[in-house]
Structure 1
Amino acid sequence: MKRKLIAAIGVAAMLGVSACGSDSDDSGDNGSGGGDKTLTVWVMDGSAPDEWVTELNKEFESANEGVTVKIQEQQWNGIQEKITTSLSEDTPPDVIELGNTQTAGYAVTGGLADLTDMKADLGYDSWIEGMVSSTEIDGKLFAAPWYAANRAVIYDKSIFEEAGVEPPTTREEWLDGLKKIEKETDAQPLYLPGQSWYIYAGFLWDEGGDLAVQDGDQWKGSLATPEGEAAMNFYKELAAYTNAPTDIDESTPQQSTDIIPKGDVASWIGLGWEAGGAQAAIEEAGGEADFGYFPIPGKSADQPGHVFFGGSNLAVSERSQNKELAQEWLKLATSEKWMKKYAEATGGALLPNSEAAQVTPEPGSFAEAMVKAADVGRITPVTPGWANVETDPNPIKQYMTNVLNGSDPEKAGKDADTTITERINQG
């Protein structure tokens, strides 16, 4: 999960820039002499609200005399290499925040402590289902989910009102609304770049398919399937209402700050931080943003469309010199009590790991739309090799561009599946 996703709270300006007690010293010092101990926790920049982490550590230190919790903030840029190195050392950080799609890769190297015996203590059975898969591999638990966020449709209320369109609850209503906007206004009904593959993944899950499936001990790409084609066909239907190029994604150029503030876009699909970024850019230019939000519609009104869960987990280093203390800190930080406090500190803009910890988001907010899709959130295939699939050139992106430009979906899917299969099975 990238830094800007974590900054979803920019929508309501709820997090401090730095976690209280953060330290740029990355030495992993686990002892302070005199029998006292220092518990080192790595969190990503922007993940831990000041007040939340301060109060959490105060409670933990009060219950563990002689222990000091040292929070060290890290940057997403280059973090995978940094964590890989630290986990191989004798004094790694005791607790580490990991992107949810990265966790499996660290687990198979032996760098993370096995938490399977702690399932009950950690509240495993109460975790949101879509977050659980990223914490396990081969039936063993190696992390606890911390938070997640997902995309929703962001729309210009004035344009929708001009066209007489209400927020849709089904795909059919969605397409009908876009058609009406095209007819009744001068606005671009939907900004949808051709390579927004996280959005395509949601449509694929709606159809019952997946980006890759396990085949014995191996994995194989699964875009050249009826489900993959159906998902891409729906993407094409939406793309009929956009002027966006077919060979870029939502970040090149960044849709929230480079496209939307220029105006004449009725709707787009994005994250909470993007909604906040667009609003800030519009207001900085002297304009006024009046956004509404709704979940990505599903095939029926009974359930919204599936969404990709971007988020983070918390794990304990296998070589931690304070493993039992680290496990206790993890247990406290991800407990219902402190997850609820976390949700409150982030204004509901990030999803905590259980429904019981969620707070009621403000009516009409992005968070409200995001929460409605929480039950159908999923992540990419949980296997260490998945990271290889996402490296440039991403075969899923190329597949989408090819189909949107007229290629046969089955042939384009087979080409992509060949690359996915090769990459995902690499050691």
Structure 2
Amino acid sequence: MRFAKVAAASAAVLLLAGACGGGGEESGSGDVPKELTVWVMGDSQPKLVDYFKEVDAAWKEKHPESSVKAEFIPWADVQKTLTTALAGGDAPDVLEVGNDQVSNWASQGALLDITKPTEEWGDAKDMDQAALEYGRFDGVQYGVPWFSGVRTLYYRADWLKDLGLEAPTDWKSLVDVAKKIQDEKDVPGFCAPTDFTNGIASFIWSNGGEIAVQDGDKWEGRLTDAKTKEAIEFYAGLNSKEKVSPKGAMNANELDACLPEMANGKLGMYIDGSWARGAMEETAEDKKVVDEIATVPMPGADGIAPAMAGGSDLAVFADGESTEAATELMLLLGNKEWGDKYAEAAGFFPAYPEMLDDEKYTKTGDAKASAEQAKNTKFFPATPKWNKADLDQKILPKAVLSIAKGEDADKVLKDANDELTKTLNEKVE
């Protein structure tokens, strides 16, 4: 799952040891190459650099003549970089893949079948089984969960305290609190960007609706179902009916429309992930404003709304020259010890539910809210065509935008549902 839009000109490369060359070019002891390469999506933050230094040391304990090299690939470059690798360019041994993109890359032949080693892997039984299943395509395991991330509700705690209000826990209180913030603080109460499938999905799921369901080999869009329609109309209505959302939220995403406003004291509430606080601190003109922002689980129709189970999987590149060693490294990175360490270093959550109760994930602030939210999650349709429907065609965001502009919801959702069903059922080549 793509967590943040990272602007960078090129991939940052971290050489963790003195060995040179790409993975598999030279052999060390046995069938283990002198160097194995891991592609990590995002920027090379200091904590992640330190993490891979420790991984390299752990790998060397078993394979003294082999090293681990991590290359950080900006999210904006992922599609192009993987496509180039698939076409025969420089390729990694192990790679991070957004969990909603595993089926897409697996269908193109980029990922190795890791069904057998995963079935024989002891830690797999303690993973989030839904997340593990999400790493399968056509009954074959191609990815294993590395970490998870969820969105929560960010709100101005100081403002709510001044107004004698509690953080909202359902749709009704969300609107009530948003209107009171708007009346008293003269800023929009809640930001509801229309180009925000992850957030919109939570509203749909919390009302008992679905975006699409699989029936045998076919996918059926559910955008016209009564509960889904009700949720979409409620969300769109935060802009058009309740008018608690800023005008800039129309045809915009949360990063552009909401985060800067929240960071600079011009917004009462919005939905984003734990990774957003760092961006707010960078954006804020007055850092003290960010200190007043708190988080709680997302309010649903009646109680906590399910969050999109964001996160990334680890996979092995199918055309790598040392797939056996790469699989061993992948399972090392994803095991309980190193999976937990990466989640903590990256600011996310481990793929093992039992770890969510650890004090470091539940103690205070954002971690506490996110850990609670992480226990209530759902996944997008597990099909290679979901990326096309959402990222390319933007079927759901366009429908929400049209309804927010006042177009007939029945017609908009029927057309969108027909397009969604058609796209999800396109033949995978």
Tell me the TM-score normalised to structure 1 length: 0.86
Shift of 1:279: 3.1
Matches within 5 A, 1:392-411: 392-411=392-411
Question: Partner of 1:279 in structure 2?
Answer: 281
Q: Distance in 1 between matches of 2:176 and 2:318?
A: 54
Matches within 5 A, 1:310-349: 310-346=310-346, 349=347
When residues 383 and 183 of structure 1 are mapped into structure 2, their CA distance, relative to the original with a 3 A threshold, is same
Q: Distance in 1 between matches of 2:37 and 2:389?
A: 32
In structure 2, what residue type is equivalent to 1:45?
G
Q: How many residue pairs align between the two structures?
A: 412
When residues 236 and 318 of structure 1 are mapped into structure 2, their CA distance, relative to the original with a 3 A threshold, is closer
TM-superposition CA deviations, 1:186-208 (whole Å, max 9, x none): 33211222332221111112233
Shift of 1:246: 5.8
TM-superposition CA deviations, 1:230-285 (whole Å, max 9, x none): 2113314544122334632225734212x224423211111223232223332457
TM-superposition CA deviations, 1:281-317 (whole Å, max 9, x none): 324578664111111023444xx21112332111012
Q: CA RMSD in A?
A: 3.0
> For the Cα contact (< 8 Å) 1:104–1:136, is it kept in 2?
yes
Q: What SS does the aligned partner of 1:30 have? A: coil
Of 254, 269, 284 in structure 2, the residue corresponding to residue 267 of structure 1 is 269
Tell me the TM-score normalised to structure 2 length: 0.86
Of 330, 348, 351 in structure 2, the residue corresponding to residue 350 of structure 1 is 348
> For the Cα contact (< 8 Å) 1:146–1:314, is it kept in 2?
yes
Q: Distance in 1 between matches of 2:318 and 2:286?
A: 48
In structure 1, what residue type is equivalent to 2:418?
T
TM-superposition CA deviations, 1:39-64 (whole Å, max 9, x none): 22211233771222111221112112
In structure 2, what residue type is equivalent to 1:274?
A
Q: Which moved more, 1:105-114 or 1:231-240?
A: 231-240
> For the Cα contact (< 8 Å) 2:194–2:398, is it kept in 1?
no
Shift of 1:19: 7.2
> For the Cα contact (< 8 Å) 1:19–1:53, is it kept in 2?
no
**Are 2:205 and 1:209 aligned?**
no
Shift of 1:95: 0.8
When residues 84 and 264 of structure 1 are mapped into structure 2, their CA distance, relative to the original with a 3 A threshold, is closer
Question: Partner of 1:170 in structure 2?
Answer: 170
Of 1, 15, 24 in structure 2, the residue corresponding to residue 30 of structure 1 is 24
When residues 4 and 194 of structure 1 are mapped into structure 2, their CA distance, relative to the original with a 3 A threshold, is closer
Q: Which moved more, 1:317-326 or 1:206-215?
A: 206-215
When residues 329 and 233 of structure 1 are mapped into structure 2, their CA distance, relative to the original with a 3 A threshold, is same
In structure 2, what residue type is equivalent to 1:361?
Y
Q: What SS does the aligned partner of 2:67 have? A: strand
> For the Cα contact (< 8 Å) 1:246–1:401, is it kept in 2?
no
> For the Cα contact (< 8 Å) 1:130–1:376, is it kept in 2?
no
> For the Cα contact (< 8 Å) 1:152–1:294, is it kept in 2?
yes
Shift of 1:369: 1.2
Matches within 5 A, 1:236-255: 236=236, 238-239=238-239, 240=242, 241-245=244-248, 247-251=250-254, 253-255=256-258
> For the Cα contact (< 8 Å) 2:297–2:305, is it kept in 1?
yes
Question: Partner of 1:414 in structure 2?
Answer: 414
TM-superposition CA deviations, 1:164-186 (whole Å, max 9, x none): 11123333333332343344443
**Are 2:39 and 1:45 aligned?**
no
> For the Cα contact (< 8 Å) 2:237–2:404, is it kept in 1?
no
In structure 2, what residue type is equivalent to 1:153?
L
When residues 252 and 267 of structure 1 are mapped into structure 2, their CA distance, relative to the original with a 3 A threshold, is closer
Percent identical pairs in the alignment equals 26
Shift of 1:30: 1.2
Q: What SS does the aligned partner of 2:361 have? A: coil
Matches within 5 A, 1:48-87: 49-87=48-86
Question: Partner of 1:291 in structure 2?
Answer: 293
Shift of 1:114: 1.6
Matches within 5 A, 1:107-146: 107-117=106-116, 118-121=118-121, 123-146=123-146
When residues 124 and 6 of structure 1 are mapped into structure 2, their CA distance, relative to the original with a 3 A threshold, is farther
> For the Cα contact (< 8 Å) 1:146–1:334, is it kept in 2?
yes
Q: Which moved more, 1:25-34 or 1:180-189?
A: 25-34
Q: Distance in 1 between matches of 2:63 and 2:21?
A: 23
